[in-house]
Structure 1
Amino acid sequence: MMVRHAFSVTPAGQSPAERRAVRREITAAQRADTTVRTRKHERRLPAPAMPGPFGPGVREHGYWNLARLTVPAHQATSQHLAGIYPFVADVGLGHRGPVVGVDLNADALWHFSPWEAYADATGRGAFSTNILVLGAYRAGKSAVIKMLTTRSLPFGHHVVLPSDSKGEWVKVAEAVGGSVIRLGAGGAERLNPLDRGPRRTASTDDQHEQMVAQRRIGTLISLIEQTMTGARLSAVEHAAVHLALRRAITETDDAPTLREVHRQLGLIASGDTDGDAALVAASAQPRFVLRRFVEGDLSGLFEDASTVAFDEDAPMVVIDTSELFARGDLVAQLTQVCSTAWIQAVVSDRDAHRTRYVVREEGWRDMTSLAALQMYQQWLKLSRHYGISNIVILHKMGDLDAVGQAGSQERNLAYSIAGDIENKFIFHVNHQERAPLIERLNISPAHAEMARQLARGQFIAYVGQYSYLVDAFSTSTEWELELFQTDDAVLLASEEMPELVHLRERLEEAWPDDVDTSVDGWLAYERGIG
């Protein structure tokens, strides 16, 4: 091994003559190297160690170390040290709000409250209280949201579910002493979407009347357009509907119903137009649409006065619409519009100083027309003003493809609404969701790939500019796991129909990422593959 003069350190206090003497010693040691040859390779052995005041000198496998190198101790704050070498464990969101799970990166409990995150002054908070929840079937979405909302009740927050399409929130509401409103169960309970609703605290008479008028006409137009499968009313049809609603308010002493609006449209169609003949033809389409509510397949739900009232003091209010799915998908969509409008009249009282979660299961059902989308967008923007946290639950971004046509204003607005929700909980997704997550929600490719590997109950939480990997089920109690179980129907069907278990195994083996694991999905596949 040849000795090379690569680096030397001169002790402090040496004169130029002494430094030159050191260099001469180094040169002499290099010239004194001898070469020893072997059969396989050649290596050089250094000369014997040179005595002197500068260390051991040159020796086999050694090096020149004329002075010991020392690095002085450095003191800094943890904030500056984190910039030099980033800490692995994140500081998290603090301990305000209920425990949701365990932060797998920091190995610490993860607390979350959308209101606390919004009010966070440390810079780690969010600018919105709304939450987008996205994940495949059986990823644990509903159970985690039930866990979050139920654990939030002791913190003074209330929970509202405008449409429980599966009936799975009913037992949760009953367990916490909440209120359940059942629609379609024998036709005993009805909601009037044109109800005046409660008066906002500290609002003036003019403000209250304006709010009621806007909510009534907005709900009525949205109902008619959605029943027309998304077609928009013309200006003259709008005028006919406005006139019919105004007359219905007068005739019912400020308690209008869809039945009375339908009757007034019939009078307008017969020529009673207050002198505007153009309204005669314009009233035909809205009249026939509302006829379905009064006499047709949509009757018995929304056409007359309400038979139930919203309990503002109940910790959880659930509108059970599971019985309505037998009437078709349109009924479910219209129910979502009516129940949401009815509830908004109650929960939009800012001065009442209440904070509520509004959980929107099958969130895409609120986005089936341009009018509904615009109302939805406005409601999300006003959530902070009213103290509301809207939780929008989707199975996949492809759910929004049911909104409008490809490239239409409706679909673009639906994707924009989903993307603008700042707080996001991303659960396990199928492989085809990787591209939509990156393109539509601006999720990083690494996180999109990670979402495919998540176990049940685990999710990536985006709060403001920070992200966390959370395991929610690790903190669950047996009571919670049993109460929040959403697979009861699947498990019961599996016990009663063992052939479904075998079918599911076949399907998961063939399409591990694409199988709808619900009972309806299994039966649909069974019929499809014959």
Structure 2
Amino acid sequence: MSKVRAGRDMTRLLHDFGHELPRVPQPPARPKEPRLFRHAPRRGTRRRGRGWAPASAPVSSWRMTSDQAPALWPFVATPGLPATGAQMGIDQLSGGSFFADPLGWVLADQVPVTNPNIFSFGKPGRGKSGTTKAFCLRMMDFGYRTLICGDPKDEYEPLCRALGVEPFAIGVGLPARINPLAFGPLGQGWTGLDAAEAQRRAAVVFGRWLTLVRGLVGSQRIGQARVPFGPTDEVVVTNALRQLTGYAQGQSQLAETTIPALWHLLDNPTNQLVAQCRYGSARQFFDETRTLRDALGQLVSGALAGLFDDRTTIEVDWDAPIQSLSLSRLDPLGDDAVGIALTCLGSWSRGMRELAQPGDLRIVVRDESWKQLRLGTEAVKSFDADLRLSRFGGDIQFAVAHKPSDLLGVGDAGSQAVAIAKDLLHLADIKILLGQDAAVGDELERLLGLGPIARDLVTGWGMQGKGRALWCVGEHPYKVATVLHPLEAELAYTNQNIDAAG
């Protein structure tokens, strides 16, 4: 089959007879920009020195958890926090500054924090005191004041004196006394309150006192067991307190009472109290409240004597940058006495802050908190109540302990006290984990849900320098090295006794 020959178009025909059609002007060509990247074949460019391979590299799929991923992508860090609050040190993963702002984190939707409470754990000598004092001192620039709610070792006295404040020393034979059954601000202006507001305040005050008495009674022992505090004891104590203050009689001005007065009334009950508690006779009242009365009597003549058995004798300047209640004079009395004092101070400080004005921001430091928690289930409940109220009062509860298992030493495995103590960890969304021995690593991973990389940071990197800590802000971990100013380092130094011995 012959190939059909195509004819000439108009342009070619005119060209053959010597005519040229006018051309449309073409725009000038743009200069080509240099290319930064050029496509390369899978096996590379087939030239000398261009990495060409006769076969492609095998591709394999891998699965890993989020705590394993940094091993392959080490520069992927936790999402950064807002640059608000106190600048604590260097974020080792991002290389930037690390800022701590607990209340600001609660208000920020992008930060997984629902309460501003802080738990700080660390082996002695790893920088717990330095980190705590630096946080308190630097947050003062943002309007925060600090209350040291019990200083068992006088660690905060140099900081107080540097700020022009003299700590209150509490001990046997000293003039400073604190009444844990003080009304606090809720007792002011009682005569001008309407019935509804008076009932609301009474419920708060008597509830706080009942929590305190429950914790104090539960701290006593019958052999190896703690003294029980049941619903009947609760009714007796509540009615006795209402009678002592005049609330049961409908008085317009309530009277302040004390724990010795409560014990004295229970030991010498009135007919009105016996009837209100639904006992058939005074003899039945004595028989069924013997354990309660003996526990209170032991406290009045023992751990509370000369300390918390009378009206408050100190005047606290709540406008000062810091206030501290020193308990070092109680150390010879044992850990239980210090724990009972911490329980009383916790209840008293909560009462003083129940009507805090908006913007009155305060950091409440609870050092050696494990001594209070080891007093039994009721003492744990009292500590639990303080943490739960922080979200509504605006205070930041800063609890300091050695390791998370200190919270579990309150009772037998599986007991109610241990269950409540575990829940305490969830009432503090911010945890500062300083250096720990390797033996504590498994405990950290089990109780706090840390992965192996975070655990190794605490037991490895955290032990290589003071102030190194893993800050757990909600579920986000941050590898932070606290940097102290020389003046802060001097105020945070706690090895004076060792220096003297050397």
TM-score when normalising by structure 1: 0.72
- Indicate conservation of the 8 Å contact 1:134/1:425, yes or no: yes
Which residue of structure 2 aligns with residue 482 of structure 1?
A: 490
- For 1:261, give the aligned amino acid: L
Report SS of the residue matched to 2:414.
Answer: coil
**Uncovered stretches (5+) of structure 2, i.e. residues with no partner:** 1-44, 54-72
Looking at structure 2, the residues matched to 158 and 221 of structure 1 have their Cα atoms a distance apart, in angstroms, of 30
Q: Give 1:209's aligned amino acid.
A: A
Helix, strand or coil: the match of 1:148? helix
Q: Distance in 1 between matches of 2:347 and 2:50?
A: 84
Residue 89 of structure 1 and its aligned partner are, at CA, apart by: 5.8
* 1:206 shift after superposition: 2.9
Whole-Å Cα distance in 1 between the matches of residues 293 and 49 of structure 2?
A: 99
**1:519 corresponds to:** none
SS in 2 for 1:161: strand
- The 5-angstrom pairing of residues 268-347 of structure 1 reads 268=269, 273-274=274-275, 276-277=280-281, 278-296=284-302, 298-347=304-353
Quickly say closer, same or farther: Cα 1:86–1:139, change in 2 above 3 A: closer
Query: Which of 185, 202, 209 is the aligned partner of 1:198?
Result: 185
Residues 483-518 of structure 1, C-alpha deviations (whole Å, 9 max, x = no match): 11122222222x2xxxxxxxxxxxxxxxxxxxxxxx
Distance 1:254 1:225 in 2: 26
Q: Which one of 376, 381, 402 corresponds to residue 409 of structure 2? A: 402
Structure 1 unpaired stretches of 5+: 1-56, 66-84, 496-530
Q: For residue 164 of structure 1, what is the aligned residue in structure 2?
A: 151
Matches within 5 A, 1:165-184: 165-178=152-165, 180-184=167-171
Classify 1:141/1:58 alpha carbon distance in 2 versus 1 (closer, same or farther; 3 Å).
closer
Residue equivalent to 2:139: 152
1:449 aligns with 2:436: no
Q: Which among 381, 386, 393 is matched to residue 400 of structure 2? A: 393
Bigger relative contact order, structure 1 or 2 (CA pairs below 8 A, ≥6 apart): 2
2 CA distance for matches of 1:295 and 1:86? 61
**RMSD of aligned residue pairs (Cα, Å):** 3.0
* Equivalent residue letter for 2:343: V
- Overall identity of the aligned pairs, in %: 24
Q: Paired residue for 2:468?
A: 458
TM-score (norm 2): 0.76
Structure 2 partner of 1:418: 425
Q: Helix, strand or coil for the counterpart of 2:226? A: coil
Displacement of 1:234 in angstroms is: 3.2
Query: What SS class does the counterpart of residue 274 from structure 2 fall into?
Result: coil
Q: Using the alignment, how far apart are the partners of 2:383 and 2:94 within structure 1?
A: 36
| Residue 440 to residue 91, structure 1, CA distance change in 2 (3 Å) | closer
Sort the Cα spacing of 1:413 and 1:63 in 2 relative to 1 into closer, same or farther, 3 A.
closer
- Please give the residue correspondences for 1:212-291 in structure 2 after superposition, counting only pairs within 5 Å: 212-228=205-221, 230-250=226-246, 254-268=255-269, 273-274=274-275, 276-277=280-281, 278-291=284-297
Equivalence for 1:353: 359
Looking at structure 1, the residues matched to 403 and 448 of structure 2 have their Cα atoms a distance apart, in angstroms, of 12
Is the 1:134–1:141 Cα contact (8 Å) retained in structure 2? yes
Distance 1:112 1:242 in 2: 42
| Structure 1 pair 212–89 and aligned structure 2 pair: CA distance change class (3 A) | closer
Whether the 8 Å CA contact 1:179–1:311 is kept in 2: the answer is no
CA distances 1:259-307 after superposition (whole Å, capped 9, x unpaired) = 2111111113999723632322123222222223433454111111111
Distance 1:358 1:208, change over 3 A: same
Show CA shifts across 1:308-354 (max 9, x none). Answer: 13322121111101101111222111101100100001123354432
Per-residue CA deviation, residues 197-256 of structure 1 (Å, 9 max, x unaligned), is 113999933322221121122212221121246332233333333333233223995111
Alignment partner, residue 62 of structure 2: none
2:167 is paired with a residue whose SS is: strand
Whether the 8 Å CA contact 2:90–2:97 is kept in 1: the answer is yes
Aligned residue among 108, 114, 121 for 2:96: 108
State the one-letter code of the partner of 2:298. Answer: R
Q: Distance in 2 between matches of 1:364 and 1:155?
A: 30
Give the distance between the partners of 2:82 and 2:255, measured in 1 at CA: 50
Letter in 1 for 2:144: H
- Would you say the 8 A contact 1:219–1:338 is kept in 2? yes
Shift of the alpha carbon at 1:392?
Answer: 1.6
- How big is each residue's C-alpha offset from its partner over 1:64-83, in whole Å with a ceiling of 9 and x where there is no partner? 99xxxxxxxxxxxxxxxxxx
1:357 aligns to what SS in structure 2?
A: strand
Q: 1:60 to 1:467 in 2, by over 3 A?
A: closer
Paired position in structure 2 for 1:469? 479
Instruction: State the secondary structure of the residue aligned to 1:273.
Output: helix
Residue type of the partner of 2:245? I
For 1:98 and 1:479, the matched residues in 2 are separated by: 17
Is contact 2:146-2:322 (8 Å) kept?
Answer: yes
1:488–1:272 CA distance, 2 compared to 1 (3 A): same
SS in 2 for 1:393: strand
Contact 2:388 2:427 (8 Å CA) reproduced: no
The answer to whether the Cα contact below 8 Å between 1:356 and 1:388 also exists between their aligned partners in 2 is yes
Shift of 1:185: 5.6
Q: CA deviation at 1:420?
A: 4.5
Report if the CA contact (8 A) 1:292-1:299 is conserved.
no
Determine the structure 2 residue equivalent to 1:53.
none
Asked if the contact 1:132–1:421 (Cα under 8 Å) also holds between the matched residues in 2, the reply is yes
**Partner Cα distance (1:353, 1:200) in 2:** 22
CA contact (8 A) 2:212 2:382 kept: no
- Structure 1 residues 416 and 63, CA, compared in 2 at 3 Å: closer, same or farther? closer
1:18-50 per-position Cα deviation (integer Å, ceiling 9, x unaligned):
xxxxxxxxxxxxxxxxxxxxxxxxxxxxxxxxx
CA distance 1:113–1:240, shift in 2 (3 Å): same
